[in-house]
């Protein structure tokens, strides 16, 4: 299918097209240009793309278009975290403005009874986390009318241990459905999930998912553990714009947030140890611009879509490069510029394997092809002689010699047998005995010891 260059080429429902125009969706991003034609045609998609490339619209537009054209159909979107699910839900609400489509957000930490009421009120699509969807399935929710399923950030779902939940959900879905699967990486575990959920998918791959976006400027800031706070305060005072500060643990995030509050810097705190209401309030305050900085753990690495984050500070480096790519992908979104500041202590060893890709160890040299090996050995045989070319150990010679009735050393079998005759054996023994006597006599007289004679058999 041809990639599109404008949303007007898609022949979308009029209400959806107006909503996209209101949201200033004019030119599709690469992942949208590659995903929308097969998505609107009802074809399964297996997609990988860098973070911040517009994947939500890549599956949101086909979802809303399909539900608008087929009344009574349902759709399900699965996301790994509450924050990402809430973000997707908000985007779909804005896209469906002017349509009669309704959505329900089914995530943990919110009222289960209220969610049941939203479902019974006639929700057309459900944006869920895997655990809470299973809770609703246990309570009687039926997915028999689901015609489109979206699995977003599947690699993160598996990292968080949701593989059993994905296996449990699949039997509740109808066999005849369209599935759109998106992931940042494609390890073997993801391919196993894809084989379970997808049927003849179109492969969409945009950019190197193990590389940061080109617009992100990366700066390494050597420091020590004791100097990190002073360096952070310096950057906050000298640089304009909004900051997202990543700490490795919840405890460390709490300490950084308290330090900022003591220095009268307005900041919010986001990590898994906060209640759902606290996390929601922190995101709302940060989006509204009431707070200049957010201190977070990797929970925010994939669930934050705020366009005007100018600086991402890695107060602590993450444990792997994949999380690093997602962290710094929170800046430079939708064509904007952004910078990632990495605070490196001596223990970080310059961020090898995290900031820069891990070095690949050179493997063993590849063996030349059989034809090339034979040609090279023949040439060496002619130029340098039998021994330098490998002699009797050359495998191609052994094979040819055996087929022509030759022995191991290239001699005819009868000659090989005659060389081992009793007469030849006696001559060799006499020669070795004579050499020994000469050496013993030379030692007694103090004369130089003669070298043993080397003769032919």
pLDDT of residue 333: 78
- The per-residue pLDDT for range 125-157, each reduced to its tens digit, is 999 999 999 999 999 999 999 999 999 999 889
Query: From residue 103, how far is each of 34, 77, 86, 142, 283 by CA, in Å?
Result: 26, 10, 11, 16, 21
The domain locations on the chain are 7-206, 216-351, 377-418, 425-457
- Give the pLDDT confidence score for residue 337 in this predicted structure: 85
1 pLDDT tier (thresholds 50, 70, 90): low
- The backbone region for 11, taken as left when phi is positive above 0, alpha when psi lies in -120 to 50, beta otherwise, is left
Query: Does position 427 have pLDDT exceeding 80, yes or no?
Result: no
Q: Would you say residue 409 has pLDDT above 50?
A: no
pLDDT at residue 214 in the model: 76
Residue 352 host element (H or E): none
SS3 217: strand
**Distance separating alpha carbons of residues 428 and 308, to the nearest angstrom:** 92
Architecture of domain 7-206: 3-Layer(aba) Sandwich (3.40)
H or E stretch covering 192? helix 188-197
| CATH superfamily entry for domain 216-351 | P-loop containing nucleotide triphosphate hydrolases (3.40.50.300)
Fold match flag (7-206 vs 216-351):
yes
Among 237-246, 308-317, 378-387, the minimum mean pLDDT is found in: 378-387
């Amino acid at each position: 299918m041809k990639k599109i260059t404008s949303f007007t080429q898609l022949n979308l429902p009029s209400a959806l097209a107006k909503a996209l125009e209101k949201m200033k969706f004019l030119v599709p991003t690469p992942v949208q240009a590659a995903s929308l034609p097969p998505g609107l045609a009802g074809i399964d998609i297996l997609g990988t793309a860098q973070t911040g490339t517009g994947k939500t619209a890549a599956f949101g537009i086909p979802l809303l278009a399909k539900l608008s054209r087929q009344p009574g159909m349902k759709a399900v979107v699965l996301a790994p975290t509450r924050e990402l699910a809430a973000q997707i839900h908000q985007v779909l609400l804005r896209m469906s403005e002017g349509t009669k489509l309704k959505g329900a957000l089914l995530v943990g930490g919110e009222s289960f009874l209220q969610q049941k009421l939203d479902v019974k009120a006639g929700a057309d699509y459900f944006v869920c986390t895997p655990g809470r969807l299973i809770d609703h399935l246990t309570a009687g929710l039926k997915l028999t009318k689901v015609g489109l399923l979206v699995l977003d950030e599947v690699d993160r779902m598996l990292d968080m241990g949701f593989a059993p939940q994905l296996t449990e959900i699949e039997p509740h879905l109808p066999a005849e459905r369209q599935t759109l699967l998106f992931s940042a990486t494609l390890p073997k575990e993801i391919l196993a999930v894809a084989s379970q959920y997808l049927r003849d998918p179109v492969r969409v791959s945009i950019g190197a998912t193990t590389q940061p976006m080109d617009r992100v400027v990366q700066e390494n800031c050597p420091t020590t553990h004791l100097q990190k706070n002073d360096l952070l305060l310096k950057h906050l005072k000298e640089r304009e714009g909004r900051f997202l500060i990543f700490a490795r643990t919840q405890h460390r995030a709490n300490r950084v947030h308290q330090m900022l509050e003591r220095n009268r810097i307005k900041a919010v705190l986001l990590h898994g140890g906060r209640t759902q209401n606290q996390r929601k309030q922190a995101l709302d305050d940060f989006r509204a611009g009431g707070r200049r900085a957010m201190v977070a753990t990797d929970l925010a690495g994939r669930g934050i879509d705020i366009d005007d984050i100018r600086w991402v500070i890695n107060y602590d480096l993450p444990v792997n490069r994949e999380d690093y790519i997602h962290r710094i992908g929170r800046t430079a979104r939708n064509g904007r510029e952004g910078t990632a500041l990495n605070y490196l202590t001596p223990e970080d060893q310059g961020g090898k394997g995290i900031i820069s890709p891990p070095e690949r160890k050179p493997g063993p040299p590849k063996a030349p092809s059989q034809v090339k090996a034979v040609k090279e050995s023949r040439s060496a045989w002619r130029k340098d002689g039998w021994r330098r070319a490998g002699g009797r150990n050359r495998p191609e010679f052994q094979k040819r010699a055996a087929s022509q009735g030759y022995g191991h050393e290239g001699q005819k079998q009868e000659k090989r047998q005659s060389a081992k005759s009793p007469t030849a054996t006696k001559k060799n023994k006499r020669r070795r005995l004579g050499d020994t006597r000469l050496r013993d006599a030379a030692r007694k007289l103090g004369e130089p010891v003669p070298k043993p004679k080397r003769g032919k058999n």
